Amino acid sequence: MNEEKTNKRRTKDEQKTNKRRTKDEQKTNKRRTKDEQKTKKQRTKDEEQWYKSGFLEVYNEYFCYKNNLFF
């Protein structure tokens, strides 16, 4: 009798824990995707600034020269 109650309580606790875990994972995934989107936006802004300043063009020429890549 006591064993059955203990088992029922244990399964309820496990279910609660699993629900909490999935909620936490969902929150973490949402936060991660938001962070990734922010990073991508910042990266594109940085790349735009680099293109405007001509940095990437010079870097690409240097990279091609160092690695013997000529187009």
Cα Rg, the chain, nearest whole Å: 27
Domain that includes residue 8, residue range = 2-66
- Is 31 domain-assigned? yes
pTM here is 0.45
Kindly report, residue by residue over 19-44, the tens digit of the pLDDT.
999 999 999 999 999 999 988 888 88
Pairwise CA distance, residues 44 & 54, whole Å: 15
Q: What confidence score (pLDDT) does residue 50 get?
A: 72
Q: Binning pLDDT at 50, 70 and 90, where does residue 71 land?
A: low
- Is 71 domain-assigned? no
Q: Binning pLDDT at 50, 70 and 90, where does residue 69 land?
A: low
Pairwise CA distance, residues 6 & 14, whole Å: 12
Domains in the chain, number: 1
